[in-house]
Amino acid sequence: MRNTWTRAWLATFIVLVGASAIARSRHATLIKVEEPVMDWLLDGTDTSGWARADILGDPWLVYPGIVVLAFIAFWFSRAVAATIVLTMFFGVVTALVTKNIVGRPRPEVFEGVTSSSFPSVFVVQAGIFWGLVTLMVWWFRTPRLIWQIVLELTIVAVILTALGRIIAGYHWPSDAVGSAIVVALSLISAAIVLEDHPPQRRRRRTAEADELLSV
């Protein structure tokens, strides 16, 4: 399984490099497709309601949430606890480095903002946090139905966050695609570690319970 995760990581990294190259060198071409979409979304439409979606990726939720996840994981595996923190760090740093390299202008409504548009760090934060929640549920070997439900809720939360940023005029639609690639790269890295470090304390308790039952 490790080889599968590794191949997936390499493939995702290559896709990120390719997407970044396109965003940097083909911005004008992308705009021909994306600008009409942005005009349709923003023209005469009250987008204030979409601001509520920001709570799903708000740093005041995401970073305390990461601390809570790391604290829970610490009781079962220190390596996984460290991985949770480092995954967020890796994702945000990757997004920031990519932004600086690509240097893509934001939509005109935010043309006075000097920071690059591709990818969205906000969406990356939200995607990694909710993705780690799903990975933790999977890591604890919960029933398949439960973690699949959590996965679907995670996908909805990230999509709502991305749409909120696009409709509010902060980012182009393709910026959300770039963010999704960074999120995937980060979560694949975390999945490799989680698979190699099963929850040991849980296994001990299960063994002790089996021993008591056998007496």
Counting residues of the chain whose pLDDT is more than 70, the rounded percentage is 82
How deeply is 44 buried, as exposed, middle or buried, from its count of CB atoms within 10 A (0-12, 13-18, 19+)? exposed
Asked if pLDDT for residue 75 goes beyond 70, the answer is yes
Q: Is 205 exposed, middle or buried (0-12, 13-18, 19+ CB in 10 A)?
A: exposed
DSSP line for 58-97: -HHHHHHHHHHHHHHHHTT-HHHHHHHHHHHHHHHHHHHH
How much is the pLDDT for 202?
A: 46
What pLDDT score does 113 carry? Answer: 57
Q: Which residues constitute the domain of residue 108? A: 2-201
Does residue 86 lie in a domain region?
yes
Residue 209 lies in a domain: no
Cα–Cα dist 160/165, whole Å: 9
Say if 74 falls within a structural domain: yes
Q: Give the range among 35-49, 75-89, 114-128, 129-143 with minimum mean pLDDT.
A: 35-49
What is the pLDDT, as a whole number, of residue 112? 54
- 54 against 12, higher pLDDT: 12
- Given a cut of 80, whether residue 115 has pLDDT beyond it is no
Helix pair angle (173-196, 27-42), 10° resolution: 100
Both structure tokens of 143? 């029933």
In a domain, 210, yes or no: no
- Distance between CA 147 and CA 18 in Å, rounded? 32
Q: The pTM is what?
A: 0.85
- 3-state class percentages of the chain: helix first, strand second, coil last, to nearest 5: 80, 0, 20
Three-class SS state of 56:
helix
- Which tens digit of pLDDT belongs to each residue from 30-67? 888 887 777 776 665 666 666 777 788 888 899 999 99
Look at residue 180 in the predicted model and tell me its pLDDT: 94
Percent of the chain with pLDDT over 90: 42
- The total of structural domains in the chain comes to 1
Question: Residue 12 corresponds to which tokens in the numbers above?
Answer: 């995702």
Total number of residues shown for the chain: 215
- pLDDT higher than threshold 80 for residue 81: yes
Q: Residue 33's domain is classified under what CATH number? A: 1.20.144
In a domain, 212, yes or no: no
Q: Is residue 208 situated within a structural domain? A: no
Mean pLDDT of the chain: 83
Compute CA 24 distance to the chain's CA centroid, rounded to the nearest angstrom: 22
Tell whether 28 is covered by a domain: yes
Q: Note whether residue 215 is domain-resident.
A: no
User: What's the CA gap between 77 and 71, in Å, rounded?
Assistant: 10
In this model, does residue 172 exceed pLDDT 90? no
Calculate mean pLDDT across residues 2-30: 85
The vertex-162 CA angle with 190 and 138, nearest 5°, equals 30
